[in-house]
A = this chain, B = another copy of it.
Amino acid sequence: MASKIKKSVSESSTDPRSIRSQEALASALLVLLESTPFEQLSIRDIVAEAGIGYTTFFRHHATKEELLDAVAAEQIRCLFQLAVPALDKYDMHAGSTALFTYVHAHRRMWQTLLVGGAAGTVRAEFLRLAREVALQRGDPNAWLPTEIGTLLIVGGTLDLLTWWLRQASPLPIKRMVELHERVVLKPVIDANARKLPQKRKA
> A interface vs B, CB < 8 Å?
119-120, 144, 147-148, 151-152, 155-156, 159-160, 163, 179, 182-184, 186-188, 190-191, 194, 197, 200, 202
Contact = CB atoms under 8 A, between A and B. Distances in A.
Nearest to A184: B152
A148 B120 contact: no
A188 B194 contact: no
A191 B184 contact: no
Contacts of A155: 155-156, 159
B151 A159 contact: yes
A130 to B, nearest CB: 12
A54 to B, nearest CB: 23
A186 B188 CA distance: 11
A51 to B, nearest CB: 29
Contact of A191 (B147, B151, B182): B182
A183 B119 contact: no
Contacts of A186: 187
A46 to B, nearest CB: 19
A129 to B, nearest CB: 16
Contacts of A156: 152, 155-156
A151 B163 CA distance: 8
Contacts of A151: 159-160, 163
B194 A183 contact: no
Given A187-B186, A191-B182, A152 B160 contact: yes
Contacts of A147: 163
A179 B163 CA distance: 25
